[in-house]
Each structure stands twice: as structure tokens, then as C-alpha cells.
Structure 1
Amino acid sequence: MAQIDAAQVKELREKTGAGMMDCKKALTEAEGNVEEAVKILRKKGLAAAGKKAGRIASEGLVYASVEGSTAILVEVNSETDFVAQTDEFKALVAGIADIIRAANPADVETLSTLAWPGDAEGHNVAQYISSKIAKIGENIAIRRFMKFDAASAVLSSYVHGNGKIGVVVEVKFDNAEAKIAAEGLAKDVAMHVAAAEPRFLHRDEVTSKDLDTEKEVAREQAIKSGKPEAVVEKIVAGKMEKYYAETVLLEQPYIRDDKMTVQKVVDQRAKEAGAKFAVTRFTRFKLGEGIEKKANDFVAEVMAQASGN
């Protein structure tokens, strides 16, 4: 068996853009012949993956799944919505969610090192995604995920707009006979979270930095409008209540009846079910939020491809 050294791996990576482990395997199979290794990688669809991996992926899917006492929410990005809506991409995202459920990785980096179940090439998640990048022709990236494991609680998920927004909500209950009612509440709250975009569950979760910023803005606005100093603080207090109503889930007006807050809806459903309900946590992912979208420059892209970059 030919001895494979770091220089050969580096050369092959530069020629193909494939991952390090894929390059090592190809070189071993080719008995150290770099050109033969290039052919092997091309046949496997891995040779172009690395070239595409630097491109901005801001489309994709937010995927949610609830099975029993476990909920998964994951965002996987692609470059175009066209690719994101294909069955192949959807299957990829669902497969990633299944791995998260089974292995409970701590973060995306750890997730990337886990084996992809049933893959004939023995790829891990990162390598499997690289093979898809080469085949599909777009960069693909796991951006983030979360996992809820519920105890004495129900979980519900909601996905809006073909994977543009995904939500998971947990509702605790104290009466087994009220489980169905708790599930209905969790479903309705999940839809509310998708639409109303709360940032916090309770007002005591609002950070001091956020509070100070909002108070400062409200105070400056009141002073500039010429309000007397004696009423400025009252105006600030009123503005803060409005801020809580906009950002705190349990204090938001319920989307289906804005005369009630979400907390009042929770209390009402609990009373009807003869139980105690509590919304204990939620997570909301909006596709691509915070990702800088690069404007397409078709001429520059063609020129780059023509020059081999």
C-alpha cells in the first residue's frame, strides 16, 4: 500500500476542493496517484464541493419535528429556494433532524462529525453534505438546531411558509386527563409565536441592556417632544409596558383575539380543562435571519468560472 503524505492530500484538495478525509480515501484507493484520485473524486461527485462551499447560503429550510417527548428544530441553508424545495434537499434536512434526535449532539460542529446512517461510502454528516453540494451544485450548510426533551409536558411544532419560519413550544400540565387540551393549546401558541415574533417568554427574561436601551430611547423622545419633566417618567413607564406587550410572549395580545393576552388564553384553557397549564419555553427560527445576502453579479461569476476560480 502506497504511503500517503500531507503534501499529496493538500495538492488533491487544491485541485478538487473536496474534504480532507475524502482526499485521503481517494489517494489510498489510487495508491498515491493524485490524477487518478481526482478521477475517483469526480466519479463520486465530490470534486467540486469545496469550490461551492464558500458561497453564501441564505435560503433553505427550517424543519420541525415532534416525536413523543422530543422536538427538533433545525435550519439548513442553500443558495436558492428552488433547491430548498426539492425532495432531495427536504430528505437531507429530515435526515439531519433524525441524527440530532438519535445522537443528541452538543453543537453543529459535533453534529458534522457523526456518521450518516446507511451511507455506502461511510461518510459522516459533513462528508455526506459535501457529496450533495457537488451533486446539486449549490453550497449547503447546517446553520443551527435545537432539541427539546419534555417531562410532564407536551410539545408542538409549527412551520410556516414552506419552511420560512419554524416554531417549537412546550406546555406543562398537571392532569393526565387534560393532555389533549394541553396539546391544542401548544399548537395554537406555536402558531401565535410564528406570527407575533416574541423575543422572550416572561418579562424577567428581558436583559438589562435591552431595558436600558428602550428606556433611553423613550426618555429622549419624550424630552424632544417638549413634555414637562414631571411627566417624562410616566411616559417612559407607558412605553415600557408597550415594549413588553410587543416582545414578551405571555403579555402579547393573542393573534386570534387581541382583547386577550396569551397568558389569559392559557389561564382560560386551563380552567376549561380543570388543570394547570404553563407555557414553559419556545424557540422560533426564521430562515436566513442575520445572514448577509450577497447580490448576484452574473458577469463576475462567469468571469470567475472562466478563469478557473
Structure 2
Amino acid sequence: MINISAKSVKELREMTGAGMMDCKKALAENEGNTEKAIEALRKKGLASANKKSSRQAAEGIIESYIHTGGKIGILLELNCETDFVARRPEFQALAKDIAMQVAASPDVEFVNTENVSKEFIESESKIQAGREDLKNKPEAIRNKIVQGRIEKRLKEKSLVDQPFIKNPDITIDELIKQNIAKIGENIQIKRFVRFNLGEGVIKEEKNFANEVSEILNK
């Protein structure tokens, strides 16, 4: 089987806007031939997904997902271009899958790395720069390591960078691009909110022996 380099996959992705795994598969199926891989992606509609991503998406739905046991709830707004697409079963199924992804990803706080707050980045930079294993390293190397760790941390917080729970071979970003190609409209995650039962409530700790004593002494 032909070996497909990460560089060739990256180049094809930049040329077509298709997902990383789709690019790798297209190259593998076409013996590493870039032109044939582009043609294969175009036939599947995947090469046009990136172009559609710049179009306005103001319609869509607000999807809810309550995890088994009722202790985690998710509200998610998924946008598309028309109300017609918003009513399609494929689009609604996608919204449900992404809401489930949020429930399964407790560390995720932002839709993508562009949405990460400046305060979070500054705080994370201070934490990483102060780690013990970096103290004796030259400044240039230390800065490079810190930058790499911050980028990794931001991806851990980004919803679109998470491996899809139903298919870990693709990310949520790639899942959305596949659906853009399939449906023919731009699709964007606008926002999400996670509700954890009892979050923010300080539970009163009771001593059972004292509680029994109080009852007997009444």
C-alpha cells in the first residue's frame, strides 16, 4: 500500500478545503496522484465545502440533549442558510450528534480556537511559562514549547477540534464539512450551553449522628 505523507495530505486539504481523512483516503485510492484525488473529492462534493463556509448562515435550529440520568443538559444552536435545510432530517440529526458531543466533552468550552478569550490565553501562557521543566531551557526554546502547549490546550477546549464520538477518525470540523458537501449549504455551530445538575450550589454536609441527636433532644 502506498505511503501517503502528511505534507501531501495538508497540501490537498489547502487546495480543496476537504477534511483531512477525506484527503488522505482520496490520495490513497488514487496512488498519491493529487490531480486524481482532487477529481475524486469534487465528485463527492467535498472539494466545495470550504467555499460554502464563507456564505451567511442565519437559519437553523436550537437543539437540546439531556444525557441519561438527567444530570447533564445541552442547548446548541446550529445554523444553516435556509429554513428548508433546517427542517431536513439530516441537519437535525447532525445537530443532535453535535449536542451529544458537547455532553461527552466536559473540557470543551468554546466552539473553536478563534472563540477562546484573550484572558484564557494569557492565563494559560503564565501557567505554561512557569512550569518546572522549562526553567533551565534557553528562552527561544522555552517560548516555542510554551506556544506548542498553548495550541494543544486550545484544541482541547475547542469543540470543532474534538474527535467525533461516533467516528473518532474524523473531527467535528470534518463532520460538518462532510454535511456541507452532502446538504449543499453552509453549516456553522453558533453557540452551546452546558448544564450540570447542582452546578454552583454548595451542598450542606450533615453529620448523621448529630442529626439523630437533635431529633431525640427535641
TM-score, scaled to structure 2: 0.64
Q: Select 1:273's aligned residue among 177, 183, 190.
A: 183
Q: Select 2:74's aligned residue among 163, 167, 180.
A: 167
Aligned to 2:174: 264
Aligned to 1:246: 156
Query: Any stretches of 5+ residues in structure 1 without a counterpart?
Result: 1-150
Report the Cα offset of residue 257 of structure 1: 3.0
Report the Cα offset of residue 191 of structure 1: 0.5
1:251-284, Cα deviation, whole Å (9 max, x unpaired): 2232233343212211111111111111111111
Distance 2:175 2:155 in 1: 15
Higher fraction of strand:
1
1:111-145, Cα deviation, whole Å (9 max, x unpaired): xxxxxxxxxxxxxxxxxxxxxxxxxxxxxxxxxxx
Distance 1:245 1:214 in 2: 13
Name the aligned partner's letter for residue 95 of structure 2.
A
Are 1:155 and 1:183, in contact at CA under 8 Å, matched by a contact in 2? no
Report the Cα offset of residue 182 of structure 1: 1.5
Distance 1:267 1:245 in 2: 18
Report the Cα offset of residue 161 of structure 1: 2.9
Cα distance, 1:216–1:177 mapped onto 2, change above 3 Å: closer
Are 2:64 and 2:76, in contact at CA under 8 Å, matched by a contact in 1? yes
Aligned to 2:100: 191
Aligned to 2:59: 152
The secondary structure found in structure 2 opposite 1:196 is coil
Name the aligned partner's letter for residue 247 of structure 1.
K
The secondary structure found in structure 2 opposite 1:182 is helix
Matches within 5 A, 1:29-68: none
Report the Cα offset of residue 238 of structure 1: 1.0
Distance 2:132 2:168 in 1: 27
Are 2:76 and 2:99, in contact at CA under 8 Å, matched by a contact in 1? yes
Name the aligned partner's letter for residue 165 of structure 1.
I
Q: Select 1:214's aligned residue among 124, 145, 149.
A: 124
Question: Which has the bigger relative contact order, CA under 8 A and spacing at least 6?
Answer: 2
Name the aligned partner's letter for residue 285 of structure 1.
F
Report the Cα offset of residue 158 of structure 1: 1.3
Compute the RMSD of aligned alpha carbons: 2.2
Name the aligned partner's letter for residue 128 of structure 2.
A
Distance 2:65 2:85 in 1: 24
Query: Any stretches of 5+ residues in structure 2 without a counterpart?
Result: 1-57
Report the Cα offset of residue 225 of structure 1: 5.8
Matches within 5 A, 1:36-185: 152-175=59-82, 176-177=84-85, 179-185=88-94
Distance 1:152 1:162 in 2: 31
TM-score, scaled to structure 1: 0.47
Percent identity over the alignment is 33
